[in-house]
Amino acid sequence: MSSAVKTKWKAKKWYSVVSPEVFGSIPIGGIPADEDWKLLGRVVETTLFDLTGDFTKHYIHLYFQVYRYDEENVYTRFKGHELSRDYVKSITRRKSSKIVGITDTTTSDGYVLRVTGLVLTAYNCNTSHKRAIRKIVFQTIKEWAQRSTFDEFVKAMVFGDMAVDLMTRAKKIYPVRKAEIYKSKLLAIPTPTGPVPAVIVTRRPT
Beta carbons of 158 and 81 less than 8 angstroms apart: yes
Tell me, what's the pLDDT at 192?
83
What does residue 114 show for φ and ψ, rounded to 5 degrees? -105, 120
Picking from 9, 75, 151, the residue whose alpha carbon sits closest to that of residue 1 is 9
- The fold of the 92-189 domain, in CATH, is Tetrahydropterin Synthase; Chain A (3.30.479)
Tell me, what's the pLDDT at 10?
61
Beta carbons of 41 and 66 less than 8 angstroms apart: yes
At 130-181, the pLDDT tens digits run 999 999 999 999 999 999 999 999 999 999 999 999 999 999 999 999 999 9
> Which segments of the chain belong to CATH 3.30.479.30?
92-189
- Burial classification of residue 185, based on how many CB atoms lie within 10 Å of its CB (0-12 exposed, 13-18 middle, 19 or more buried): middle
pLDDT under 70: residue ranges of the chain? 1-11, 200-206
